Structure 1
Amino acid sequence: MSTVPHSSDLLPVDEARALLRDHAISPTEQRVEIARVMFARHQHLSAEQILAQLVRHDSRVSKATVYNTLNLFAEKGLVREVLIDPAKLFYDSNLNPHHHLFHTDTGELEDVDPARVDLSDLPPLPEGKALQGVDVIIRVGRPRS
C-alpha cells in the first residue's frame, strides 16, 4: 500500500480543494497538488514519495513545501503520522483506527485490522491520564541467516 499512484489515480482538483477548505486549510496551488497525490486513496506515503510523484507530473513544489504541507495536514487531522523509526516517517490517509505491518526489506507499509491485534491487557495508566491511542507496528522481513 505504499506505492505512489499513477496520474489517472490522482484526486480530482475540485475534490482536493473542497477537502482542504473543509479542514480550514487555504487551498494554494501547491497544497492542492500535494493533496491530489496524498488523498487519491487510503495509502502510506513518505514525503519523498510524494515529492517524486509531483516531479513526475512536472510540479514545481519544493521539498520544504511538501514537508510543511504534510505537517499542516497532520496538524489539521487530515493525515496520521506513522513513525517507523527516527529516519522513516510515513503519512497515512486512512484515519480509521488500525495498526501497521512494516516490511523491513521492501519499505512497504500495510494496514492491520485492529481486531487482529489483542490489546486487552494494557498496563494501568498513570493517575490523571487517559488513553489517547495505541499504535502497533509489526516489523517483518526475510529470516536472518
Structure 2
Amino acid sequence: MTDPLSSFIDHRSMPQYRRGCPLSELRDKLRRVGLRPTRQRVSLGWLLFGKGNRHVTAEMLFDEASSARVPVSLATVYNTLHQFTEVGLLRQLAVDGTKAYFDTNPTEHHHYFLEEEGELVDMPETGITIADLPVAPEGMEVAGVEVIVRLRKKSS
C-alpha cells in the first residue's frame, strides 16, 4: 500500500536524508499526545522533526513547506506550531516582541541569539548556572527559567 502522503509531498524536492523519515513513527507520536495525525500535521511534523533539533519561526516553516510543495497556509503553520507546543512536542521561545521561535528540543535549556543572523543556537549545558531565584508570589511556582544571551560581532 502506498503512503497517502506520497501524493501530498513532493519527495523530489526534499533532501535525500529526509526521504527515509519514518512517517508512521510521527503519526504514532501525534496520537500519543492526543493529536489526530492529519495530512497537514504530519507534513509539517515531518519538516520540523526530520532534521533533528533546531529552531524555526512560523515563517521559516511556511517557506520550507512551500519549497516542499506542501499546500498549507501561514495560519495553519501557526496553529500547528501552537498545537505542538501545547502538547509538549515543541518549546516556544520569545526572543523579542516581534518573533517567536519554536525549538524541536522541548527540554529546558538555554540559548544564544545571534542578532545579525536572527538565529537561535543552543548554549552548552555547562554554560550557565541559575541560583538564588526570588520566591514566587503566593499561589505560584516557578515553571522554568530561560536564559537567552544575545550575541553580536564586536565592532572594530
Q: Normalising by structure 2, report the TM-score.
A: 0.82
**Do the aligned residues in 2 keep the contact of 1:97 with 1:114 (CA within 8 Å)?**
no
Task: Write out aligned runs for 1:31-70 (5 A).
Answer: 31-40=41-50, 41-70=52-81
Partner of 1:116: 127
Larger RCO (CA under 8 A, 6+ residues apart) = 1
Q: Does 1:9 align with 2:18?
A: yes
Judged with a 3 Å threshold, the aligned counterparts in structure 2 of structure 1 residues 37 and 7 are, in CA distance, closer, same or farther, namely farther
Residue of structure 1 in register with 2:154 after alignment: 143
Q: Which runs of 5+ in 2 are unaligned?
A: 1-13
Moved more, 127-136 or 80-89: 127-136
> Structure 2: how far apart are the matches of 1:110 and 1:64?
26
Per-residue CA deviation, residues 1-44 of structure 1 (Å, 9 max, x unaligned), is xxxx8463364321221111111100110010110011121111
Amino acid at match of 1:38: L
Give TM-score scaled by structure 1 length.
0.88
Aligned residues: 141
Please list the CA deviations of residues 41-98 of structure 1 after superposition, one character each: whole Å capped at 9, or x if unmatched: 1111111111111111111111111011111111111100011011111111102220
Equivalence for 1:100 = 111
The letter of the residue matching 1:14 is: S
Structure whose CA Rg is larger = 2
- 8 Å CA contact 2:108–2:146 kept in 1: the answer is no
Determine what percentage of the aligned residue pairs are the same residue: 37
Alignment CA distance shift 1:17-1:56 (3 Å): same
Given that 1:125 and 1:131 are in contact with CA atoms closer than 8 Å, whether structure 2 keeps it comes out as yes
Q: Distance in 2 between matches of 1:7 and 1:135?
A: 35
SS at match of 1:85: coil
Match of 1:129 in 2: 140
Taking the aligned partners of 2:137 and 2:93, their CA distance within structure 1 comes to 24
* Aligned partner letter, 2:134: P
